[in-house]
Structure 1
């Protein structure tokens, strides 16, 4: 499928009657496995990628070049539309955000997120005016590029659980032209519902970061359009590996293999080839 077709497919998923799940792949292999399960689109995860290469998930620990290289490998591994986790845009300035969006589009991503987090623990969130300028520049860079821009308000995962300010930010990002709005770490279903009712664009909610117990049905009824999982699938995979390793080290047994995916199943998925020209 051509890039324009992928973009239209991703955009259309946000208009369904129920929320759709956008699972986060951390490498080409996980992208192929998730594709085989029938999801409609994929996202990348900077956290999952960081774990896989032994780094910390932060703009300071991950460069734009390696994030985009990882994303390009994921794009090449699947026929599905892919939206990229582009962290803070890899620079404080609006120009840096615009450059990141342009580069992301060039490697085949048809969507991506820009955060308003600074990475500075003493001042973790950009001033709303500057944050909005960054989103506005990203929107301009995405214009005409078949790219769905998601703007993230990071208050709740940066130690600032200020719902009123989060909503103000999302509304400002909407006015600046963001296609999708996203405030990770919202604590409960009622807060999620309030956010969805306060904006006019599709809202993404991330699950798997906490013990929040909501189903796809619950989130759909609250007004959520899209559900991502961040790095939680990657952490689930790491958790399974650690449990298996502890069993071997502490008990000297190998019963973990009974729950492992069969080699033949993985082999079959990985042998599948991708035809970039294939039409639906």
Structure 2
């Protein structure tokens, strides 16, 4: 699959299909190759937090954009699947950043609203989609609202969900195909937001220990579930545990596979 438009169309189809799209996020070439080799993986998404950490930067647009884009380009060139880039809040110019992401081969992306005024957040969504049209593709924007993630402790939960829904509907009306609401893990809250946004319009993240299984999310109407930085943390946990075993006098885990 080499044509950008074809990859974008394939990625969009995966979001609207009856079966939930499950995306274990990747952060470099070897993680992309390992994940893409898993049966059933049909697309890849990068994790900005993980890419930044790979180069020693904290999350939050601290990694230089060109370095970030170079890693995405390497991932795109290493696999034969559609790739979505997490470009955070757009590095100050969401439309231009989306155009640069498309130039390195990404056909979808995450854009955080960072709880900017809604008019500004909607304008950013439109700018990203315009960049896709200018490039001749239907860019698959996973428009993220941080309404739940940034809610103050003790805030009225119904009001928090109402704000997420208000922002999500505005992003959908602006043309985004799906809305990402990190922080949603409760079954009833997911059901409420999914119903308010519409079937296969909501995407969520899957934190270890608290997330619902993908099949249950699918039954609630969720379009997509990703893993963000947590897949890298799984890998790093295994690495640190293995190192501790070796340093402590043991050996590396039996059954370790040659995946690189």
So what's the TM-score if we normalise by structure 2?
A: 0.90
Q: What is the aligned partner in structure 1 of residue 51 from structure 2?
A: 49
CA distance in 2, matches of 1:215, 1:259: 26
Q: What is the aligned partner in structure 1 of residue 120 from structure 2?
A: 130
1:27 aligns with 2:25: no
Q: What is the aligned partner in structure 1 of residue 253 from structure 2?
A: 257
Q: What is the aligned partner in structure 1 of residue 205 from structure 2?
A: 206
Q: What is the aligned partner in structure 2 of residue 275 from structure 1?
A: none
Give the Å deviation of 1:259.
Answer: 4.3
Q: What is the aligned partner in structure 2 of residue 158 from structure 1?
A: 150
Comparing 236-245 with 6-15, which one deviates more in the overlay? 6-15
Q: What is the aligned partner in structure 1 of residue 141 from structure 2?
A: 149
Q: What is the aligned partner in structure 1 of residue 95 from structure 2?
A: 98
Secondary structure at 2:253 match in 1: helix
CA distance in 2, matches of 1:221, 1:153: 22
Give the Å deviation of 1:141.
Answer: 1.8
Q: How many residues align structurally?
A: 249
CA contact (8 A) 1:154 1:184 kept: yes
CA distance in 1, matches of 2:7, 2:132: 15
CA, structure 1 residues 36+187, in 2 after alignment: closer, same or farther (shift >3 Å)?
Answer: closer
CA contact (8 A) 1:116 1:153 kept: yes
Q: CA RMSD in A?
A: 1.6
Give the gaps of 5 or more residues in structure 2.
none
So what's the TM-score if we normalise by structure 1?
A: 0.84
Secondary structure at 2:222 match in 1: coil
Give the Å deviation of 1:210.
Answer: 4.7
CA contact (8 A) 2:142 2:177 kept: yes
Comparing 67-76 with 11-20, which one deviates more in the overlay? 11-20
Q: What is the aligned partner in structure 1 of residue 130 from structure 2?
A: 140
Q: What is the aligned partner in structure 1 of residue 179 from structure 2?
A: 181
Give the gaps of 5 or more residues in structure 1.
118-124, 268-280
Q: What is the aligned partner in structure 2 of residue 121 from structure 1?
A: none
Give the Å deviation of 1:63.
Answer: 2.1
Q: What is the aligned partner in structure 2 of residue 272 from structure 1?
A: none
Q: What is the aligned partner in structure 2 of residue 81 from structure 1?
A: 82
Secondary structure at 1:24 match in 2: coil
CA distance in 2, matches of 1:80, 1:132: 29
